[in-house]
Structure 1
Amino acid sequence: MIKREIFKEELRSVLHKNLTLGHPIFDALLDPQRPNLPLLKSTALQGYQLTKHFLNYVEHLFFYCPIPTFKRALLINMYEEETGRLSRSDNHVELMKNFLRAIGVSDSERDAERPLPATSALINYRLDAVRDSSHYHVGAAAVMIASEGQNLETKAGEARHELFSKVYGLAESDLLFFSVHQAEDVGHVEQGLNLVSQLCTTGKMQDEALFAVDHTCRLFYGMYENIYLENCRKAPGTASLGGGH
Structure 2
Amino acid sequence: MDRETFAEALLQIMERKQHWAWPSFGAGEVAAELLHVHLEQEYATYVRDFPVLVGRVHVQCPIPAVRRELAENLYEEETGGLAAGRPHPELFLEYPRGLGMDLARFEAVELLPAAAAYRATIDELTVGCGWLTAACVVTIFIEGTAHERGELDAAVPKRPAPPLEQHPLVVHYGLPLESLALTKAHRAVEGDHRAAAWGCVLDHGPAHRRVDAVAAMERVLGAWGAYRDAVAHACGLTRAF
**In structure 1, what residue type is equivalent to 2:100?**
G
1:200 corresponds to 2:198: no
Q: 2:184, 2:135 → 1: CA distance? A: 23
**In structure 2, what residue type is equivalent to 1:212?**
A
Could you tell me which residue of structure 2 aligns to residue 118 of structure 1? 114
Q: Give ranges in structure 2 of 5+ residues lacking alignment.
A: 149-156
Q: Secondary structure at the match of 2:82?
A: coil
Deviation for aligned residue 1:215:
2.4
Residue from 48, 54, 59 that aligns with 1:52 = 48
Aligned positions of 1:186-197 closer than 5 A: 186-197=191-202
Could you tell me which residue of structure 1 aligns to residue 141 of structure 2? 146
Q: Give ranges in structure 1 of 5+ residues lacking alignment.
A: 233-240
Task: Calculate the TM-score normalised by the size of structure 1.
Answer: 0.81
Aligned residue-pair number: 228
Could you tell me which residue of structure 2 aligns to residue 108 of structure 1? 104
Could you tell me which residue of structure 1 aligns to residue 222 of structure 2? 218
Q: 1:150, 1:100 → 2: CA distance? A: 23
CA RMSD of aligned residues (A): 2.7
Per-residue Cα deviation, 1:23-50 (whole angstroms, up to 9, x for no partner): 22x2332225x56212321100111102
Per-residue Cα deviation, 1:180-220 (whole angstroms, up to 9, x for no partner): 23443443333232222231312xx2222112223223322
Residue from 96, 99, 115 that aligns with 2:92 = 96
CA 1:119–1:159 in structure 2 vs 1: closer, same or farther (change >3 Å)?
farther
**Whose helix fraction is larger, Structure 1's or Structure 2's?**
1
Deviation for aligned residue 1:96:
1.3
Could you tell me which residue of structure 2 aligns to residue 39 of structure 1? 34
Deviation for aligned residue 1:92:
0.9
CA 1:140–1:157 in structure 2 vs 1: closer, same or farther (change >3 Å)?
closer
Q: Secondary structure at the match of 2:48?
A: helix
**In structure 2, what residue type is equivalent to 1:145?**
I
CA 1:217–1:188 in structure 2 vs 1: closer, same or farther (change >3 Å)?
farther
Task: Calculate the TM-score normalised by the size of structure 2.
Answer: 0.82
Could you tell me which residue of structure 2 aligns to residue 136 of structure 1? 131
Q: 2:198, 2:160 → 1: CA distance? A: 23
Q: 2:23, 2:17 → 1: CA distance? A: 17
Q: 2:191, 2:8 → 1: CA distance? A: 15
